[in-house]
Structure formats: C-alpha cells, structure tokens
Chains A and B, each alone.
Chain A
C-alpha cells in the first residue's frame, strides 16, 4: 500500500498543475497579508478565497485524476493487492499531495504573518476542506464509469455546497423566522463542510459579534474547546464517510 501511495504522491507532486496551484495559493496568501495592514482583514479575505477555490480544485482535480488513473488501477487490480488498499492508496496519494500544496501555499504564509490561534484554525479548516472534497470526488468517481457523468456529479456537489445549500438554509430561515432556529442552525451548519470551516474561523475573529443572536449562539458553542472539538470531529466525519462509502462501492465494482 505504501509503495502505491508513494508512486501516486510523487506522480502528482511533479504535476505542473499542482505546482501552479501551490504558487497561486502562495501568491494570494502573500498578497493579502502584505497589502493589508490589518492581518485580521487579510485573514478574512484569504478565508473567503479558500472557501471558494480549495473545494473546487480538490474535487475537480481528484475526479480527473481518478479517471485518468483508471488503467493504472486496473493494472494494479490484476496484482495480488486488495481492492481496498489500491483505492485507499490512490486516495491518500491525491489527498496528501493537495494537502501539501495547501500547507506550502497557505500554511507557511499564514504562520509567518498571522501565526495566532485563528491562523492555525484557518490552516486546519482548509486542510479538512481539502480532505473532505477529495473524499467526495472519489465517491463521485466510483459511482459512474463515465468520465462526463463523474465530472458532472463532482460539479453538482461543488455547486451544492458553494451556493445551493446556503440558499436553502436562508430559505428555511426566511420561512420560519418566527421560530427560534439557533440550535437548528447549528445542526444545518454541520451538514455543509464549507459552512463549518467558515464558522470555525469566523468565531475566532472579532467580527463574530456582528452576526446577531445566531452569531452569539455560534460564538458560545464554537469558541469553546468542546465546540471546536465537535466541529473538527464533524469535519472528520465529512472526510471519512464519503471515502468509506466509495471504498465499499469500489470493492464490489466490476472494473
């Protein structure tokens, strides 16, 4: 398993796209921290860009990579290796390379300019987002053999979490505005990894006070160690369940 993971990892690290992604993240991070005198503002802008770009790159890159590696996976399947280890090696290789790109591109500049608790939370949130969207990409890719359909499914997942989900939540808030929804909002936030990552970072910043009563409930919950551990655990669930389901499908799949 280690050998396959290493091969996938080295193969991706040498890829020009991943190098470009690392450089882009580094350029964005450095420019936000350098041009803004207020590191809080720089961190907020960086957070918003990360929430838009990192899930998109993670899910699309991983889906394309899986389909492009299909012949290699078929070849490995003919060897005395379990399906599970082949699939998880692919996953770990892709996830590790994209996480490394994120750590170099965002992690290092953030630690240099804003090596505080909120900076660390931003890095952890970004990493968890990368891992969870790679998981979702692998799930989309094993559901269908057709590359076009797999890409379409991956894009639908991204659109859902980037835009549609927030619209639905706002719709619920609008429709049931007469009812106390603060606790419900906590649960709804946990159902979207992007929202969860956003809230985790925002609650460590001064602006959380501007978010109204719901913000106060969020602040009470997420600013405690207990709340943070719960949030990280939920993000971990977003990493594990799609890849676990994908592994199960892959093991039974007729390649």
Chain B
C-alpha cells in the first residue's frame, strides 16, 4: 500500500499558515484570544519558512522519483512543532536544514534539465539558505529579509520561465531580465546605503518585464480559468512593481518597512500562490481536476483591495485602516483556499492515471 507523504505534510503546512495568519492579526492589535502564545512572535518564520518554504519544496520534490527526497519538505514542516513546542532556535535550524536539502534538489534539477529557469531557482535556493541562516544566527527578521525576498523573486521568475519556456522571448529581453536580476542582487547588498534606489528600480524593472513577457497577457484573451490565471498573475507582477515604488521612499520609518514587507509578501508572493493554487494543489494531491469558479475573482479582488488598505494605513499611520487591511488579507486568503477545497471536494474527481501523474505534465497541459 502506497502512502503519499503529501497528505501528512500539507495539513501541517496549512496549520502553519493558519497560525501565522492568526498571529499576524494579533500583531496588528486585534483583541482575539491567544491560541498559541509562541506563534505571535513567529509570524514571519511560520509564513515564510513553515508554510511557503514547505509548499515550494513539495512542489519541487513531487516531480522527482526518489522518495527519500521528501525529507526536504519534511524538514521544512518540522519547523512548526519545533518552533511552537521546543524553541525558536530548533525551528530556525529545521528551516536551515530544509533549505540545504532544497539547494541539493535545485542543483540536481539544474544539472538534469539545464534550463535557465532552473538556474534562477538554484540561485533562489542559495538566498533562501542565507535568509534562514541569518534568522537562526541573529534571531532578527530584518536580517533575514533580504535573503527571503531574493529567494522569492528568483524562484517565481525561474518558475515562470520554466512554465512558459515555449514562448518566444527575444534575446534582448532575456538580457534585460538578467540585468534587472543582477541589479536587484547588488541593490540588496547596498540597501542600507545611499543606493537603496537600486532595489526599487530593479524590483519595478522585474515586475514590468514579467508583465510584458509572461504568458499572463496572452491569457487575457481567453475565458474561464485561463483568463483568471492571467489576471491574477498580472496582479502579482503589478505588486512587485509597486513594492519597488514604495521601497524608493527614502525613510527608515517602521511603517514604510511594514508597507514594503506586505506589498511584497502578500501582494506579490501570496497573489502568485493564489494564481497557481488551482493548478498546483490538485496535481500534487493526485486529482485530475482544475477547480475554477468566478467566485475566485471575489477573493482575489478582496486580497488586492485589502493590501491597498493596509499599505494606505501604513503610509498614513492610520492604525484602524492597517488593522482592517490585515484582517481582510487573511480572510481573503483563507476564503480562497476554502473555496478551492470545496470546488475540489464537489468536483467529480478521478485518480490521475499513472502515466499522467507527473505534476509538471499536468501543469504544462493546464497552461498551454
């Protein structure tokens, strides 16, 4: 009897997300009962490491035949019980261990396929490792932030290049992308000097490049889930561009820091997760289904509006606006995931035939 580890890893990752979102609400000042006191201080590690780190690692190892490789997402998700019930240090080092394994997976994939996208994913893996290591050594989220942001930028751009590699992209456009990415890395190292504008310009540059060159714009002419994918992807890219603009504000205010952080992680990263969720989740769980309903637009729309509220609250230092923005951020994300789960549950699902069970094939079929 074959037992897929994904059925054990995914619930724990979702639990990390729920606790992370709840911790975020408490941190915003909502007077809710404290469920797990330790989680409140670990909002960033739970969301970036235990939830997103696990999710991305699962997606990457699902296509590999070696079952032992599942130890990588297991390491990531083990950070949840360790963070909550042992010590933050133990949880952080579980994330470091997971990111080392993830780096190994990325090296293997790059050596095997030699795609440009895989190279970017590999670079992202290096940044993820340094991000988690910085957190484990310093216990400081601002110290980990640069590594985490670079991880997501390289991973998302790499994934998009891999998924749309059949699209004709001119050589000059590719050079432009690498230029923006290079500038972004340089900018990260110079962020605390007078050259912080490099990060702003490069993020805006990467955002506009993705808007121009990704398949998302082509999907706008289609209908149903394809159009939904296109609109959601373009929303995510716009948030990257917008993050660049906010980051250009020449201030050390913690309000601006919060605005940059959430424009990037909620606006860009979570919107990208929402865009891919209807394709990725069913394929990972082994269902031949692509859940879609127009109601998904409602949740994505609510997420976009609520981030705007939150950022407006941050920049105007209007706490109530910030609180409501944050609350609606979480509710929109949860509502979206519940809708996807409901659509999957009510869909006439059938197990994926063995020959078609490769998630990459299913994803490519869905995107083509």
A and B associate in one complex: yes
B168 CB to closest chain A CB, in angstroms?
39
A48 to B, closest residue via Cβ = B85
Q: Judge whether B8 and A60 touch: CB under 8 Å.
A: yes
Interfacial chain A residues near B295, Cβ < 8 Å: none
In the assembled complex, the Cα of A158 lies from the Cα of B7 at a distance in Å of: 12
Q: Judge whether A17 and B3 touch: CB under 8 Å.
A: yes
Interfacial chain A residues near B316, Cβ < 8 Å: none
Interfacial chain A residues near B7, Cβ < 8 Å: 60, 64, 151
Q: Which one, B10-18, B149-157, B206-214, B243-251, is touching chain A? A: B10-18
Interfacial chain A residues near B347, Cβ < 8 Å: 148
Q: Judge whether A57 and B1 touch: CB under 8 Å.
A: no
Instruction: Decide if B341 is an interface residue (CB 8 Å cutoff).
Output: yes
In the assembled complex, the Cα of A69 lies from the Cα of B2 at a distance in Å of: 11
Q: Judge whether B84 and A64 touch: CB under 8 Å.
A: no
Interface magnitude class on chain B:
20 to 34
Instruction: Decide if A167 is an interface residue (CB 8 Å cutoff).
Output: yes
Instruction: Decide if A37 is an interface residue (CB 8 Å cutoff).
Output: no
Interfacial chain A residues near B19, Cβ < 8 Å: 163
Q: Judge whether B8 and A167 touch: CB under 8 Å.
A: no
Q: Judge whether A15 and B35 touch: CB under 8 Å.
A: no
Per-residue contact bits, chain A 57-96, to B (CB 8 Å; 1 contact, 0 not): 1001100110011000000000000000000000000000
Q: Which one, A169-177, A180-188, A237-245, is touching chain B? A: A169-177
A-B contact count (CB 8 A): 66
A155 to B, closest residue via Cβ = B11
Interfacial chain A residues near B366, Cβ < 8 Å: none
B232 CB to closest chain A CB, in angstroms?
24
Question: Max chain A CB contacts within 10 Å: which of B3, B15, B349?
Answer: B3
Interfacial chain B residues near A49, Cβ < 8 Å: 81, 85
Interfacial chain A residues near B341, Cβ < 8 Å: 152
Interface magnitude class on chain A:
20 to 34
Interfacial chain A residues near B344, Cβ < 8 Å: 148, 152
Q: Judge whether A48 and B3 touch: CB under 8 Å.
A: no
Instruction: Decide if A223 is an interface residue (CB 8 Å cutoff).
Output: no
Q: Which residues of A, 1-55, contact B by the 8 Å Cβ criterion?
A: 11-12, 15, 17, 45, 48-49, 52-53
Interfacial chain B residues near A57, Cβ < 8 Å: 8
In the assembled complex, the Cα of A69 lies from the Cα of B85 at a distance in Å of: 36
Interfacial chain A residues near B12, Cβ < 8 Å: 52, 56
Q: Judge whether B81 and A53 touch: CB under 8 Å.
A: yes
Q: Judge whether B3 and A64 touch: CB under 8 Å.
A: yes
B85 to A, closest residue via Cβ = A48
Instruction: Decide if B287 is an interface residue (CB 8 Å cutoff).
Output: yes
Interfacial chain B residues near A48, Cβ < 8 Å: 81, 84-85
Q: Judge whether A148 and B15 touch: CB under 8 Å.
A: no
Q: Judge whether B35 and A167 touch: CB under 8 Å.
A: yes
Instruction: Decide if B345 is an interface residue (CB 8 Å cutoff).
Output: yes
A231 CB to closest chain B CB, in angstroms?
22
B228 CB to closest chain A CB, in angstroms?
22
Q: Judge whether A68 and B11 touch: CB under 8 Å.
A: no
Which residues from chain B sit less than 8 Å from chain A, CB to CB?
A: 1-4, 7-8, 11-12, 14-15, 18-19, 33-35, 80-81, 84-86, 285, 287, 341, 344-345, 347, 349, 351
Besides the known contacts A17-B3, A60-B8, 4 further A-B residue pairs in the complex with CB atoms under 8 A apart: A64-B3, A68-B1, A167-B33, A170-B35
